[in-house]
Amino acid sequence: MSERKTIDARGSFCPGPLMELIAGIKLAEVGEELEILSGDRGSAEDIPAWIAKVGHEYIKTDKIDDYWSIIVKKTK
């Protein structure tokens, strides 16, 4: 399995964590896992919602100190 890539979008007010994830997923290979770090609660909810809409695989969300780590697998 390829190494999991982390996108650190903490402190990103614009374009923000979800937009960074969308850009990151476009560059990833099918089967690759991505971890996105986000400092805002809104994205921690929006990101799993978007993953479900598009049909990638949502792996998990962890709350760590003052930020969230969300892991996604690109499936198509």
CB of 42 closer than 8 Å to CB of 28: no
Closest CB to another protein among 8 and 57? Answer: 8
Give the amino acid at 10. R
CB of 71 to another protein, least distance (A): 17
Interface positions with another protein (CB under 8 A) = 7-9, 11-20, 22-23, 26-27, 42, 46, 49-50, 53-54
CB of 19 to another protein, least distance (A): 5
Distances (CA, A) of 28 to 4, 39, 63, 76: 10, 23, 24, 10
Q: Out of 1, 14, 30, 64, which one is annotated catalytic?
A: 14
Q: Which residue has the tokens 């190494």?
A: 3
Give catalytic residues, as residue numbers. Answer: 14
